Amino acid sequence: MSEFIIETNQLTKKFKNRYAVETVNLQIKQGEVYGFLGPNGAGKTTTIRMLLGLAKPSYGSIRIFGKDMKKEKLSVLKKIGSLVEYPSYYGHLTAYENLEAIRILLDAPKSRIEEVLRIVRLSKEAKRPVKGFSLGMKQRLGIAAALLGNPELLILDEPTNGLDPSGILEIRELIKSMPKEHGMTILVSSHLLSEIDQMATQVGIISKGKMIFQDSIETLRQRSQSKISLKVNDAEQAWRMLLSKGIQAEMENQQLYLPYSSDAHVSTVIHELVNHRFSVYRVQEEKKSLEEIFLELTGGEASL
């Protein structure tokens, strides 16, 4: 069996002359929280719909739990829970009654309703009509519904969309706890880098239908190369002096920049500058934010 819970090969979806998803190769291992990141309209939801059998690929293949989705779709879907786009409910029914309607369809044990309500921390609200729920509570109820069948894989499409900060925190903490406490693998999509950064162990970035990055969140952070900036009284002359001493430096907007290195190296540079009678006004470390890296990778398509 493959080491990947989800593995796609050249997955593509074409609508007339437009590619919504083009040759995407997802690789998601067991127990990961995989952050599927991209601007709105990048192809995240289309990819997820193909993974769930809700849309047919134009070409390419999908293997989930080592099984070909084309040949063994029903057996695969039995082990997947999902929340795609905004969940719908019967507003006049209670949380418990809404879950009961889904439980009957799934043929899950009745005891499972109380279990999932406890997992999403809605046990105290079980008898309340859903029409009185906040958006965050409705999202948690959607996740509870996705968990009813005791899935091994949970797929969540933009689960924090439209939530206030406390609702976002609730959903984030819930997602982070799932793999450890319930042995699940989670694919969570978002257009917000800050959210993926705080939830995911692995990240895939999609832009204009194409996968442009796939690795650990730590590897993404490492792309943020630090520089040391120095403000001096005569930047051009100071820059020329450093180059003459074999010290690598750049100059931009009358400021010097050194590639990030040891404190000892920075101390040597400052010593040389002072020895050559340059005034050093400020020394600081500058580091690209994850947001800036995201914008670079996506060619300036901003997350919101």
- Is pLDDT above 50 for 304? no
Q: pLDDT value at position 260?
A: 66
Q: Among residues 39, 49, 68, 182, which one has the least CA distance to residue 119?
A: 182
**How many other CB atoms sit within 10 Å of the CB of residue 285?**
11
Average pLDDT of span 241-249: 91
Q: Which fold has domain 227-287?
A: Alpha-Beta Plaits (3.30.70)
Average pLDDT of span 261-274: 85
- Ordered by start, the domain boundaries in the chain are 4-222, 227-287
What phi-psi label fits residue 119: left (phi over 0), alpha (psi between -120 and 50 degrees) or beta?
A: alpha
The single residue listed with the structure tokens 């739990």 is 65
Q: Which CATH number applies to 4-222: 3.40.50.300, 3.40.50.1220, 3.40.1280.10, 3.40.50.11540?
A: 3.40.50.300
What phi-psi label fits residue 73: left (phi over 0), alpha (psi between -120 and 50 degrees) or beta?
A: alpha
Q: pLDDT value at position 2?
A: 65
For 180-220, the pLDDT digits (tens) are 888 899 999 988 888 888 899 999 999 899 999 999 988 88
Q: pLDDT value at position 84?
A: 86
- pTM over 0.85, yes/no: no
For 137-187, the pLDDT digits (tens) are 888 899 899 999 889 999 999 888 777 888 788 888 888 988 888 889 999
Mean per-residue pLDDT over the chain, rounded:
88
Element (H, E) at 117: helix 111-119
